[in-house]
């Protein structure tokens, strides 16, 4: 979408369906066709006589719910949900696994941060998920060490506050694709070994 800021004629190109806008439209159609085909084939599979729900996935759950409210949960709605999870998971995974700043702002006025650090008007302020995951005052003196057992207590997983791990943000607006992204990261980690 960057080129829409750099190219003042993008609306005309979209209207005439030429250049990068034609390519975008074609690529969106390919993705839409793929997801719609996935929805149709999953629905057909679920309505078959021999269907056994051994491995329930997200799309299966939404398809079951769509039977209760077909006018609300249309195929377009299911497509949007599916794409949201696919892209949310990808973006969150990419952000989580990245080594560089992804978000930043410039201070509008001189200010003092809660830890006493002074910020002058115009200073760039960034947070880096990679660096925040290695802060000793958050994670302990061994923050730089790979020690997965830090999340275990007597062999049982002990989750940390989501405010400590900012890749998915926290609170009521936490990333809807967080669990999906975790699953993607586990799969990626397993494949890289």
Per-residue pLDDT of the chain (193 residues; tens, 9 = 90+): 555 667 788 788 889 989 888 998 998 899 899 999 999 988 888 887 776 666 677 788 888 888 788 888 888 988 988 888 777 655 566 656 554 445 577 889 999 988 888 999 999 887 777 777 888 888 889 988 888 788 788 888 888 887 777 777 788 778 877 888 878 877 777 776 5
- pLDDT for the residue numbered 193: 59
27 inside domain: yes
Domain that holds residue 26: 1-52
13 inside domain: yes
2 inside domain: yes
25 inside domain: yes
- pLDDT for the residue numbered 97: 58
CA-CA-CA-CA dihedral for 42, 43, 47, 51, to nearest 10: 20
Domain tally for the chain?
1
39 inside domain: yes
184 inside domain: no
- pLDDT for the residue numbered 83: 84
Do 97 and 185 meet the contact criterion of CB atoms below 8 Å apart? yes
- pLDDT for the residue numbered 100: 47
Interacting residues of 144 by C-beta distance below 8 A, sequence separation 6+? 134
Dig out the tokens for 118 from the structure.
């002074």
- pLDDT for the residue numbered 5: 64
Q: What is the pTM of this model?
A: 0.46
Q: What is the CA radius of gyration of the chain?
A: 22
42 inside domain: yes
HSE value, Cβ hemisphere, 13 Å, CA-based, for 144: 1
139 inside domain: no
């Amino acid at each position: 979408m960057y080129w829409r800021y750099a190219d003042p004629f993008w609306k005309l190109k979209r209207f005439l369906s030429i250049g990068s806008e034609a390519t975008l439209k074609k690529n969106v159609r390919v993705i839409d066709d793929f997801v719609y085909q996935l929805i149709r084939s999953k629905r057909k599979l679920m309505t078959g006589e021999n269907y056994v729900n051994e491995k329930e996935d997200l799309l299966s759950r939404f398809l079951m719910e769509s039977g209760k409210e077909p006018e609300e949960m249309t195929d377009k709605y299911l497509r949007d949900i599916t794409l949201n999870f696919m892209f949310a998971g990808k973006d969150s995974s990419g952000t989580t696994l990245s080594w560089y700043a992804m978000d930043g702002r410039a201070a509008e006025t001189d200010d003092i941060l809660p830890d006493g650090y002074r910020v002058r008007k115009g200073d760039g302020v960034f947070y880096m998920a990679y660096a925040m995951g290695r802060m000793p005052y958050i994670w302990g003196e061994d923050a730089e060490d790979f020690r997965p057992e830090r999340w275990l207590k007597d062999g049982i997983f002990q989750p940390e506050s989501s405010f400590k791990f900012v890749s998915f943000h926290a609170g009521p607006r936490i990333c809807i694709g967080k669990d999906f992204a975790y699953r993607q990261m586990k799969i990626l980690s397993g494949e890289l070994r």
